Structure 1
Amino acid sequence: MAVSKWIPRWFYQLASPRWCYDITGKLLPVFLVAAALLLLVGLVWALAFAPPDYQQGNSFRIMYIHVPSAILAQSCYMLMAVAGAVGLIWKIKVADMVAFACAPIGASIAVMALATGAIWGKPTWGSWWVWDARLTSMLILLFLYLGVMALYAAMDNETMAAKAASVLSLVGLVNIPIIKYSVEWWNTLHQPATFSLTEKPSMPIEMWLPLLVMVLGFYCFFAVSLMLRLRNEIIRRERRSGWVRELITSR
């Protein structure tokens, strides 16, 4: 049996910019409302109702921004690399657009993770920055995002730029397990993972649940940001297509 029979129909539909534009337009309001509700509930729960940490007091509450942003920065990078690989192998141009859209979003989230980590580290470690294995590998992740963005900006040929950026993002995937397991492989100041779906939480449920809500809210917000950038990129690249002209004139 041909391999193509095992691939779902929606995978091939991704090759259609118009289909992708239409489906993201329908999904946007759903994720926007979900992101707003989850982030609002999560922030109020985390700041007003979660108990203070017995060691760090209230300074630990920065965790509710730092941990989701750190997790999302890695997830966004993996999505960017997978989309780049799909574009390389199957020549699906929407996949190239997804990879292009992911880079600046992921870089912004990585900056947020590093900044909130520094704010958390000052009262905890007494320093804004230490060359800890986890922090250093997260900084490398930011540089990888910036490298991908630089490749897109440096080349006038969008096809060649997408190929070069995809190769870099795929090579950079080796950094993701380093970030995750750095606290286990090396003796670092950084604490072990605070949030995991596969292991029992190391904190009380009244502190863990708002963190889960914030993680979900961050992912929904990321979906909104990605779909907005993707829709803009589809319109830009397909501006000479008939359906885009009809869309513009109908408005």
Structure 2
Amino acid sequence: MWAFINKLRSPRWFYAISARLQPYFWVAATALILVGTVWGLAFAPADYQQGNSFRIIYVHVPAAFLAQSIFVSMAVAAVVFMVWKIKIADMAAAVMAPLGAAMTFIALFSGAVWGVPTWGTWWMWDARLTSMLILLFLYFGVIALRGAFASRDSGSRAASVLAMVGVINIPIIKYSVEWWHTLHQPATFTVTGRVAMPLEMWAPLLLMVLGFYSFFIALTLMRTRNEILRRESRKRWVRDLAGGEH
């Protein structure tokens, strides 16, 4: 582990290794999301209570999972950056935030679309919904803090502190349904527990979840590589790389 952390201190090493890994995740994301979408929307049976409206879960659940996972990843990256001063961790956290905000918005919007036929309203101040809305504001706060300081390092530290503090909202989101017995239904899909759906319904959902995570990894690798080039533009290896591409 320490050897890997030491390698992360080299933006050049990360730039090279991510170039080799990135195509695999793009291919996996494309294949998984394509198969999961077609299977879930066209071939999975309708729910006996919700009818075809349940199919929103093939977008809602992966987006909600990813929204929370990205914030946890940002918090871990913030700890690595603050403790070990590894620049790659800060770069990765910076590029993760916009995608996390987008996934949170998609989860909230798709949940609202599902809520109309199920609850009869677009929005309720349910504990799960409210804590997800707070997560969206936390993402906005992290993004805003990075641009609120004249010094990039000061903005990075402020955003890292907010990510580390804000991660306490993640278990609140996860357990809000159990703690407050809200209207939001319990999880229909878990990694460790027994799935409360037939195989032909949860299998495409699993593919969509894996596809969304593959997309997140591929996009993070790509955008981190771009961030490395931007921040390290004065380094000789970057200038040599730019010269070799002409």
TM bucket (normalised to shorter chain) is over 0.9
Say whether 1:155 aligns with 2:157. Answer: no
RMSD: 0.7
Say whether 1:249 aligns with 2:243. Answer: yes
Partner of 2:6: 12
Partner of 2:42: 48
Deviations, residues 98-157 of structure 1 (Å, cap 9, x unaligned): 111111110011111111111111111110111000000000000000000000011121
Q: What's the TM-score once normalised by structure 1's chain length? A: 0.96
- Maintained 8 Å contact 1:67/1:194: no
Q: Which residue identity is paired with 1:38?
A: L
- Maintained 8 Å contact 1:194/1:202: yes
Q: Which residue identity is paired with 2:155?
A: A
Say whether 1:222 aligns with 2:216. Answer: yes
Say whether 1:240 aligns with 2:229. Answer: no
Say whether 1:91 aligns with 2:85. Answer: yes
Unaligned runs of 5+ in 1: 1-6
The one of 128, 144, 158 equivalent to 1:134 is 128
Alpha-carbon separation, structure 1, partners of 2:201 and 2:94:
36
Moved over 6 A (4+): none
Deviations, residues 209-238 of structure 1 (Å, cap 9, x unaligned): 110000000000111111121111100000
- Maintained 8 Å contact 1:70/1:113: yes
- Count residues with an aligned counterpart: 245
Alpha-carbon separation, structure 2, partners of 1:168 and 1:70:
20
Alpha-carbon separation, structure 2, partners of 1:57 and 1:239:
54
The one of 123, 129, 133 equivalent to 2:117 is 123
Deviations, residues 229-250 of structure 1 (Å, cap 9, x unaligned): 1111100000000010011011
Percent identity over the alignment?
61
SS at match of 1:201: coil
The one of 96, 103, 107 equivalent to 1:113 is 107
